[in-house]
């Protein structure tokens, strides 16, 4: 079974020749030159490219934090319901960024509190999400009582609490040790399958990009252009030994080729 879902209908996100310029006074800096891709509901798109090429900038545009300066961006489908980043996007960062004075349940509830969602339903949903990310029984613990990997799982639950359409992850496992990172990759595939959300994940690890992605977007050195965009058609359920197979290696090689790394 392929993890790549059939791509029918209009995409959730459509980017056409997207361009982004940072301005400071009279100075201009072209961060993204020309990015075109379609992301469909339920996709897990891994985004790779050299450091400084504009990956975080692209996530910030998708999250509504930054505008773009050229090209076209449609989120939610041309005919779809209005997409409001505050309500429809969940974010996961490299650091869990949990509030140390709130327990894990209250941390997960934070976006729901900010959006003013009904408390009782949000608490129920938070418990369900803590279950899903394997933190059942940790609701009343404080962040310092959890390992780095557990804290990051709490931040994934927090990103899902308001039932967003899109979850953006910026190097989510970059701060974890190698083994915890591999375990989190497996957890992530399970969370993706269970939540059926659309994820865009920035990673510096080519292996992680192939292991996690239903699709992979490769960007050139900045200012970013598309170097490649392709589905990752590997058999599931994906387990760590998949990384030793020729098919997995072929995708890794393809990305290295596009990045010009030998
Ligand atoms: P990546 O996530 O791929 O490492 P970024 O999107 O963080 O890259 O940055 C792309 C480029 O834009 C870099 O050269 C960075 O220095 C520059 N940049 C990022 N944010 C700003 C900003 N707020 N103002 C000016 N330049 C920025």
Query: Residue 95 above 60 pLDDT?
Result: yes
Cβ burial 203-221 (10 Å sphere, 16+ → b, else e) = bebbbbbbbbbbbbbbbbe
Instruction: Say if residue 192 is in the same domain as residue 153.
Output: no
d(C-alpha 135, C-alpha 114), whole Å: 23
Cα–Cα–Cα angle for 76, 203, 146, rounded to 5 degrees: 95
d(C-alpha 143, C-alpha 122), whole Å: 20
* pLDDT at residue 175, rounded to an integer: 87
Instruction: Say if residue 137 is in the same domain as residue 189.
Output: no
Instruction: Say if residue 128 is in the same domain as residue 58.
Output: no
Closest-CA residue, ligand 1 atom 14, reads 52
- Say if CB 7 and CB 45 are below 8 A apart: no
Closest-CA residue, ligand 1 atom 1, reads 52
Measured from CB, residues less than 6 Å from any atom of ligand 1 are 22, 29, 31, 49, 51-57, 222
Residue by residue, what is the 3-state secondary structure of 177-219? Answer: CHHHHHHHHHHHHHHHHHHCCEEEEECCCHHHHHHHCCEEEEE
Query: In terms of DSSP bridges, do strands 13-24 and 70-75 run parallel, antiparallel, or are they unpaired?
Result: antiparallel
* pLDDT at residue 76, rounded to an integer: 84
In a domain, 88, yes or no: no
- 47 CA distance to ligand 1 centroid (A)? 15
Residue with tokens 């990956």: 55
Closest-CA residue, ligand 1 atom 16, reads 52
Backbone angles phi, psi at 177, to 5 degrees: -70, 165
pLDDT tens digits, one per residue of 116-172? 999 999 999 999 999 989 999 999 999 999 999 999 999 999 999 999 999 999 999
Backbone angles phi, psi at 226, to 5 degrees: -75, 130
Q: Cis peptide before 237, with omega less than 30 degrees from 0? A: yes
* pLDDT at residue 256, rounded to an integer: 96
pLDDT tens digits, one per residue of 17-72? 999 999 999 999 999 999 999 999 999 999 999 999 999 999 999 999 999 999 99
Instruction: Say if residue 195 is in the same domain as residue 247.
Output: yes
Instruction: Say if residue 39 is in the same domain as residue 112.
Output: no
Token pair in block for residue 248: 């997995």
Ramachandran bin of 92, using left for φ above 0, alpha for ψ from -120 to 50, beta for the remaining angles: beta
- 33 CA distance to ligand 1 centroid (A)? 13
Instruction: Say if residue 67 is in the same domain as residue 174.
Output: yes
> Which three-class secondary structure state does DSSP give residue 126?
helix
Instruction: Say if residue 120 is in the same domain as residue 193.
Output: no
Cα–Cα–Cα angle for 90, 92, 96, rounded to 5 degrees: 135
pLDDT band, very low/low/confident/very high, at 79 (cuts 50, 70, 90): low
Instruction: Say if residue 239 is in the same domain as residue 179.
Output: yes
Instruction: Say if residue 17 is in the same domain as residue 73.
Output: yes
- Closest of 197, 206, 223, 222 to residue 13, by C-alpha: 197
Instruction: Say if residue 69 is in the same domain as residue 197.
Output: yes
Which residue range forms the structural domain that includes residue 123? Answer: 97-163
d(C-alpha 129, C-alpha 79), whole Å: 31
In a domain, 145, yes or no: yes
Query: Residue 253 above 80 pLDDT?
Result: yes
Instruction: Say if residue 170 is in the same domain as residue 59.
Output: yes
* pLDDT at residue 83, rounded to an integer: 83
Q: What percent of the chain has pLDDT over 90?
A: 83
- 17 CA distance to ligand 1 centroid (A)? 18
Average pLDDT, the chain: 92
* pLDDT at residue 70, rounded to an integer: 95
């Amino acid at each position: 079974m392929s993890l790549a879902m059939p791509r029918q209908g209009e995409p959730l996100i459509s980017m056409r020749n997207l361009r982004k310029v940072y301005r400071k006074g009279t100075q201009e800096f072209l961060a993204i030159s020309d990015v075109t891709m379609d992301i469909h509901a339920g996709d897990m798109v891994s985004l790779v490219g050299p450091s400084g090429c504009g990956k975080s900038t692209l996530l910030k545009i998708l999250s509504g934090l930054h505008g773009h300066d050229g090209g076209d961006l449609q989120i939610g489908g041309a005919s779809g319901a209005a997409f409001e980043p505050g309500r429809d996007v969940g974010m996961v960062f490299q650091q869990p960024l949990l509030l140390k004075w709130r327990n894990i349940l209250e941390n997960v509830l934070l976006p729901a509190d900010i959006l003013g969602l009904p408390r009782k339903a949000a608490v129920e949903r938070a418990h369900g999400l803590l279950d899903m990310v394997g933190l059942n029984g940790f609701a009343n613990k404080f962040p310092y009582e959890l390992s780095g990997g557990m804290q990051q799982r709490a931040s994934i639950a927090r990103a899902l609490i308001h039932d967003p359409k899109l979850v953006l992850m910026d190097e989510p496992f970059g701060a974890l040790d190698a083994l915890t990172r591999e375990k989190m990759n497996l957890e992530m595939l399970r969370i993706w399958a269970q939540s059926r959300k659309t994820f865009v994940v920035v990673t510096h690890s080519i292996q992680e990009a192939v292991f996690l992605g239903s699709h992979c977007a490769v960007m050139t050195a900045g200012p970013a252009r598309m170097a490649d965009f392709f589905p990752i058609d590997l058999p599931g359920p994906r387990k760590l030994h998949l990384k030793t197979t020729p098919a997995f290696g072929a995708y890794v090689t393809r990305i290295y080729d596009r990045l010009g790394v030998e």
